[in-house]
A and B are shown apart, each in its own frame.
Chain A
Amino acid sequence: MITDPQNVNPVKGGFVDPRALMSIRHLEMRARVVVEGFWNGLHRSPFHGFSVEFTEYRQYTPGDDPRYLDWGLYGRSDRYYIRKFEDETNLRCQLVVDRSKSMTYGTGSITKDKYASTLAATLAYFLHSQGDAVGLLTFDERVREYLPPRHKLSHLRQLMLALEKPAEGKATSLTDPLDHLVELVRRRGMFVYISDFLAPIERLEASLLALIAGRHEVAVIQVLDPNELALKFEGASLFEDIESGQTLYIEPAAARKAYVPKIAAHNAAVRRTCEKLGVSYLQLTTDQPLENVLFNFVKERQRRGRPGTVSRNPGRA
């Protein structure tokens, strides 16, 4: 289970400040900055070298690819052996990103949408650099864009372009995209579900369960603005719902008492749902460094005991 990254991350001080990061206009560049920083961090980390996963030797039989012959062993034993590795590109990761209008909310220059896009781009870049196939699905009240997982540079570019489109959805349906994906994706893979989860979650459990049942691995990342957790406003005003346009007269000082427990309960419900299904859950606020996410992501993957699915490019080991 993921613990609060801010408390456990030992290398927090070396990470890029989100505000500085978001000032980089190009999304791919932002992703690259995060991933590079992450690698730099890893070199100093205790997890160095985990990525090359040798499994076994087996005797060469005619028809095998001679590229995989272990010439060193042949030198030592005068026999042909083939080095067998765990398949390094068998991870098919589908990023599911909420592009509804509620995601465009943000205090200061960092909106949740920008943060989530950068996060998705970072993960995509990271996974691509590992040789994994990455796909993207964006949604609001319905599925907007779908790119199937592929390991191609041009595909990554396309994915970045899709993430750079502005969020326009009027409402959020948390379950429809998942139901859609269950139908679309037959091959086993991984889903990273990025949303603010500020919508009714009654059917969320059923939808997640359908994914789990398909033997997919699911990770849920909830992106929130700090203000959404604490309602730190001053003075009474008309609060307008960014999606529906509905207005309410709110005095924050009075409303906060009721609001904070409510949203905490909602988030706890999301978390509980994930725990119940064995889905990894991570809550982020837009003021947290993105490297933490990557760090926690990798750590979580390793903890789950499938290290081979997240491996470094052998060339970089």
Chain B
Amino acid sequence: MSFLTPFFLFGALAIAAPLIYHLIKRTTRERTIFSSLMFLLPSPPRLSRKNKLEDLLLLLLRCLALALLAFGFSRPFVRSTAAVEAPTGQTRRVVVLVDRSASMRRAGMWAEASDRALAQARGASPADQFALYGFSTQATPLVSFEEWRNTPVSARTDKVAAVLGATAPEWGSTRLGAALITAAEALADATKDEPAAAIRQIVLISDLQSGAEISALQSFDWPKGVQLKIESIKAKNVTNAGLQLLVEAPDAEAASTTAAVRVRLTNAADSLKDQFQVGWTRPGSETFIGKPVDQYVPAGQARVVNVPVPEGQADLQQITLKGDDEAFDNVVYAVPPEKQQVPIAYLGSELPTAITQPLYFFRNFLKGREGPRLAFDLTARAPGAVSAAELLAAKVIFATELPAGATAEELRRQMLAGKTVVFAPTSAAAAAGLAQLLGLPSVPLTDVNPSAATGARVSAGSGYAMIGEIDFRHPLFAEFADPLYSDFTKINISKYRRLGADAIPGARILARFDQGDPAVVEVPAASGRLILMLTTWSREDSNLAQIISKFVPLLYGMLDLGGAIPAQVVQYSVNDPIPLALVAPAGEAVSVAPPDGPAEAVAAGTATFARTRQPGIYRLTAGARTARVSVNLDVAESRTSPMPMDLLERYGAPGEAKTVDATRESKREALLQSNEAEGRQKLWRWFIVGTLLVLLIETAIAGWTARRNAATVSTGGTTS
């Protein structure tokens, strides 16, 4: 039996109050002042005649009447079967989100996280829906709702334990916001086709480091009724410092004589140590190569350290930090800058001292591009004087005149084998050589003087042509794609060579003169290519060499196309995609060798390589080009000091306090059911009827007793 208003039952206590008062009353209101109590002992209470209970039956009847009244007011009812079957415990739908970021590699953290996740699985009732997600850069299900549901109840915990045992922290950064959104969406998705759960909960097991990225939550509308329970894991060692590789500043590169790699040394806000050593090491070894740099970094601050590259050491790839407690972020992978000698061949009969001729400008251009990491070895020869070996060694071959005979054949062979040849004919007389180079019977080439030509632009009495239509999608002109740099009108062309239409099959016209004639043409030739410029940068042909903002990038682009420019020091974070254009600007097939595994072939046309799951040096190879790319830990992972506890709530993630809602809702429902049952049964009526009956009996007995007493008195009897 249940009661709708059980507080009325306290009314039944009213029976006891006068009874108890009567029985225990022993004090008197009278007070007697006396000189001294030193000879008096307290008297025990005496059961006087007044204390004795008389007419027990009447007393009991009256008490019963009061009790029945109290029961009636408390509105009793018997729970119906339906009400009994109502769920007493609430089913939960839980996503346990375990942090697998690199910072969880700290001592003991992953073991504790696994234990807590397992405890959550153990705590789940058979009716609960449970899923386990791991997250670092992105959240992935380790045990999905479906797997949980399809696993026998007895084997569920074992399954979670097995999954956790086979899982380890990754090297990724902590994208906590995105992971929470994934988990919340997983909770919402699964609700559609499954019975509604009373409690929907995300249990976040993480070190909650301050480097975690949670800004994604800002634009996320947190679903109603989904609660977030946070189980924070505390690190045993608080001191942690991390390294970040910095890209060299070009100025610094030009100024310094000794090569160095710059790293930023960051010390966590709660660190206890502030003295560190930074230096080059070999993988798997603790000893520094050369002299390490000693650096003092107070807790919560960062310093930039120049780590000099030790001389005479080949294949250096990592810089190690020593002096902190946690090793996971102590290695930064870097490709030390190496000075590269790039051989370039130049075929032309100009004198280097002729200051209006292409060679002069070209030589100056190359000198201006040299630095500690790059030097050009220019071989300028008359077309007939160049040797086969020189042609073979050259990375890129520039020509204003083409050789004839065997040398021409050699040049063609080299081009077909993969060399890039840039040919800028000074006159239409080069047509024969060009035809030979391309293996064509003839190439129609005519000299054009725009000032004299029909339709040429005439400006202020002197005619010149301009470069008009440009294919900015091509790597050669991609640099100029920005409108800021795309103005080529300052280049005035006095003379150029007109190439006949469709003269070269397979040629791609990269730029045209404003008359519509091709200006720059790319001719693929087997593995190599020919870049044909139909004007030169000599003073006689154009003012291109004076327009440095166009001339330098254009020639640099040509060198780069030919693979003559070594790749820049670039670095990526773990799980960042590496653009393959570094080695395959034209989308060739690339082979990527990760730090710990066999090389993977990436199909041609793929823009990026995304499987950068661990830090290290990735070696990219595309034909003759190779690049070493360093992939490092996200620098935010080194910020291991805990984030403010209320930060997540400030971003809209509800705390556990809001869980009350579901419980309150179920309580309200139970109350409604009780109300309904009581309204149907109306048991209180019977109790009121019982009360009236008892009172009737009481009145009858009391009357009878009174009459009997009166009769006894009248017959002369005495009662004591």
Contacts and interface: CB of A to CB of B under 8 A. Distances in A.
A242 B30 contact: no
B454 interface: no
Nearest to B31: A238
A198 B38 contact: yes
Contacts of A246: 37
B37 A239 contact: yes
A39 interface: no
B483 interface: no
Interface stretch (A147-155, A156-164, A213-221, A255-263): A255-263
Nearest to A254: B43
B37 to A, nearest CB: 5
A239 B34 contact: yes
Interface string B34-60: 111111111101100000000000000
B335 to A, nearest CB: 96
A240 B31 contact: yes
A248 B42 contact: yes
B26 A249 contact: yes
A263 B38 CA distance: 9
B28 to A, nearest CB: 5
Interface string B9-39: 0000000000000000011101111111111
B39 A266 contact: yes
B626 to A, nearest CB: 105
17 contacts: A112-B35, A196-B35, A199-B36, A233-B32, A237-B32, A238-B28, A238-B31, A238-B32, A239-B37, A241-B34, A242-B36, A243-B36, A248-B40, A249-B42, A249-B45, A251-B46, A262-B39
Given A249-B27, A249-B28, A236 B43 contact: yes
Chief secondary structure at chain A's binding surface: mixed
Given A196-B35, A242-B35, A255 B41 contact: yes
B28 A105 contact: no
A105 B33 contact: yes
Interface string A245-283: 011111100110011001100100000000000000000
B43 A263 contact: no
B45 to A, nearest CB: 8
A309 B250 CA distance: 130
Contacts of B34: 105, 239-242
Nearest to A100: B35
Given A254-B43, A255-B41, A255-B43, A198 B35 contact: yes
Contacts of A53: none
A239 B30 CA distance: 9
A102 interface: yes
A224 to B, nearest CB: 9
Given A249-B43, A254-B43, A236 B28 contact: yes
Contacts of A255: 40-41, 43
Interface of A: 102-103, 105, 112, 196, 198-200, 225, 228, 233, 235-244, 246-251, 254-255, 258-259, 262-263, 266
Contacts of B30: 235-238
Given A237-B31, A238-B30, A249-B26, A198 B43 contact: no
Contacts of A238: 27-28, 30-32
Nearest to B36: A198
Given A225-B35, A249-B42, 15 more contacts: A102-B35, A105-B33, A198-B35, A199-B38, A237-B31, A239-B37, A239-B40, A240-B34, A241-B35, A242-B34, A247-B31, A249-B26, A251-B46, A262-B39, A266-B39
A33 to B, nearest CB: 27
Closest 8 CB pairs of A and B: A237-B30, A105-B35, A251-B43, A262-B39, A102-B35, A198-B36, A241-B37, A237-B32
Contacts of A112: 35
A258 B40 CA distance: 8
A246 B45 CA distance: 18
Interface centre among B28, B37, B45 (most CB of A within 10 A): B37
Contacts of B46: 251, 254
A202 to B, nearest CB: 13
Contacts of A225: 35
Nearest to A262: B39
Contacts of A241: 34-37
A250 B34 CA distance: 11
Contacts of B45: 249
Interface centre among B32, B33, B42, B45 (most CB of A within 10 A): B32
Contact of B40 (A243, A250, A266): A250
A228 B31 CA distance: 16
A48 B38 CA distance: 45
Interface centre among A199, A251, A266 (most CB of B within 10 A): A251
Contacts of A103: 35
Interface in B175-229: none
Nearest to A111: B35
A14 B704 CA distance: 70
A91 B142 CA distance: 115
B625 to A, nearest CB: 107
A38 to B, nearest CB: 29
Interface in B522-548: none
Contacts of A237: 28, 30-32
A196 B32 CA distance: 19
A240 B43 contact: no
A246 B30 CA distance: 15
Contacts of A228: 35
Contacts of B35: 102-103, 105, 112, 196, 198, 225, 228, 241-243
Contacts of B33: 105, 239-240, 242
B35 to A, nearest CB: 4
A262 B32 CA distance: 20
Given A233-B32, A238-B30, A240-B31, A248 B37 contact: yes
A263 B27 CA distance: 26
Contacts of A249: 26-28, 42-43, 45
A150 B37 CA distance: 39
B37 A259 contact: no
A47 B645 CA distance: 106
A243 B37 CA distance: 10
